[in-house]
Amino acid sequence: MPRKTAIDYPDAIHHITARGHVKRPIFVDDADRWVFLKMLEVVCRSHDLAALAWCLMGNQVHLVLHSRQASLAHAMHQLITGYVKRYNARHRRFGHLFQGRYHSLLVNRDAYLLEVVRYVLLSPVRADLCHSPADWRWSSARAALGLRPLPACADFRIIYELLGPLDGRSPQRLQQFLRDGCEEAPGTA
C-alpha cells in the first residue's frame, strides 16, 4: 500500500518530526548537526520554506516549517535523503538512519502554533539536557531570542506577531512565553 502524501498547500505551517531508527542517534557529533542545519538552509531556500522553529535532539529532530509554495514533500525528501547519504558516507555505514518517514502535522496560525513552538524549543530543557532553551545550541531559540544572528532559513515574524505587536520587544515576549512554559509541569505545553 502506498504511503499517504503529507497534506500541503501554499502558506501551510507544519510541525515535522523525524526519529532515529529504533531510537538510535541520528547525530553522532556537532559536525553532523552542522551538516543537517546547512542542508536545512539549502532546502528552505530551494523550496521556498521558512523555518519558524527547530530543535536537533540526539535521536530526533523537530522542525516547524512554513511551506509558502506547497513543496514540503520534495523538500523533506531532499533534506532527509541528502542527510542520510552524507551521514552514511561520513560514518562509513549504510542502511536506514530514520525510523520510517517523517511525521508532519498541520498547524494553524493561532495560539496552538505558539504551543508547538514552545514544545519544540523546550524539548532539551524537559529532557534535562540544559537549563534554558537559550542554552541549547542546536535549536532556533538563540536566534529567535536575538542572541545570535538570524540564519538565512529562519523567519520568526509569524511567532512574534502572535505574541504581540512587531517591535523591538518581540524577543523578550518570546523569552517570557518560554519561561512561562518552563514553570508548567512537563508535558502540559
Residue 4 in domain: no
Please state, in angstroms and rounded to a whole number, the distance separating the CA atoms of residues 90 and 92: 6
Say how far apart CA 153 and CA 139 lie, in whole Å: 13
Residues 50-86: tens digit of each pLDDT: 999 999 999 999 999 999 998 899 999 999 999 999 9
Domain that holds residue 59: 12-183
Question: Which grid cell is 166?
Answer: 512587531
C-alpha–C-alpha distance, residues 57 and 61, integer Å: 6
Of 1-5, 74-78, 167-171, the poorest mean pLDDT is in 1-5
Based on the structure, what is the number of domains in the chain? 1
- Check residue 84 and give its pLDDT: 96
Residue 141 inside a domain? The answer is yes
Domain assignment of residue 1, yes or no:
no
Residue scoring higher pLDDT (107 or 185): 107
For the stretch 103-128, pLDDT in tens is 999 999 999 999 999 999 999 999 99
Average confidence score pLDDT of the chain? 92
Secondary structure letter of residue 57 according to DSSP: -
Asked whether residue 5 is assigned to any structural domain, the reply reads: no
In a domain, residue 7? The reply is no
What distance, in Å, lies between the first and last C-alpha atoms of the chain?
A: 35
Asked whether residue 129 is assigned to any structural domain, the reply reads yes
Residue 6 lies in a domain: no
Residue 189 domain-assigned (yes or no): no
Are the CB atoms for 135 and 182 separated by under 8 Å? no
Question: Domain holding 109: CATH number?
Answer: 3.30.70.1290
